[in-house]
Structure 1
């Protein structure tokens, strides 16, 4: 049963010495180290560290925020470790999932994370319902209003300016202009089809 440490700092200017010393004091024989922001999903040494852990091993970190990018990410990692019978120990928070108190703490963390997700979901649904009550639909507002779309389509048709120049003038991306153009063509096609059907029924 090995004790393996993981350390992380967010920038190259910071030093890992403090974390190294703390992890060595716990008996860690191997320490994996990353230099990456906590929000950065690319933490190659953490990947190697998690792969190296075996049943009965203990993963030690200086602080919990060194391991997870956020609470949900931390709970996910701890859950995966628990499934593999790997314990987690945090030096600063004095948490050890090898004991009943440590496991209880993470059960509480999991419940809080679920509570937070449910609150966000309820607020989102309430916001959409309020918007519908005011006659608005969900989603982003259009990048250009009807008058601007008409002007942009005319400029694209005349070809006096490039699409890149038109996009800069209206402050939108070229893909937005192409989407507006495609939507206009579809609408025109629907109008033609509707006229043909009305004439056939006449």
Structure 2
């Protein structure tokens, strides 16, 4: 992960997102206002959707020295990998990132915010490593049972991305459509990975 010195003082810019029209962003907006956000950008859309106009507008607006503040990191990203990619992009631009509910604040010289992001990165890499190892073990076990041919291997990165979506509350069918896998293929991949029944 990119590490930079804390950005100089600039604007405090808020970002709020709710997933459905039934949800109310008042909690996030009130917290951002109390934190001193000078301008708040919003999206009313699920985090799994690639097109987030409010976030895109915020990223185009912010400048070096500014700090983006969110109520929770989950409001900002679709997955841990997406969060780390965005954090790297902001750090390279000299823009800080602060969460009001997690110990993350890269706008100061405190090492804790950067440590938390680094820890998230390490956990994401561990998850990918475990998935790759299980995939290799599954292939080896299939070959030992004489099942050398058969189905094409499933892209582990797609399975991992879909697992993130399911963990965030999406159904397996929705996650499969978003990442471009067949529903039955994803069910099977998640079941084999978790060794348990996968919820719909």
TM-score for the superposition, normalised by structure 2: 0.67
| Aligned mate of 2:87, from 69, 78, 89 | 78
Tell me, which stretches of 5 or more residues in structure 1 are unaligned? 142-202
Aligned positions of 1:1-202 closer than 5 A: 1-98=10-107, 99-137=110-148, 140=151
d(CA) in 1 for partners of 2:141 and 2:57?
47
d(CA) in 2 for partners of 1:66 and 1:79?
17
Provide closer, same or farther for how the CA distance between residues 61 and 114 of structure 1 changes in structure 2, counting only shifts above 3 A: same
Could you say what the CA RMSD is over the residues aligned between the two structures, in angstroms? 1.5
Tell me, which stretches of 5 or more residues in structure 2 are unaligned? 1-9, 153-200
The alpha carbon displacement at 1:139 in A equals 5.4
d(CA) in 1 for partners of 2:149 and 2:59?
41
Of structures 1 and 2, the one with the larger relative CO (CA 8 A, separation 6+) is 2
Count residues with an aligned counterpart. 141
TM-score for the superposition, normalised by structure 1: 0.66
Is 1:7–1:32's contact at 8 Å kept on the other side of the alignment?
A: yes
Provide closer, same or farther for how the CA distance between residues 138 and 42 of structure 1 changes in structure 2, counting only shifts above 3 A: farther
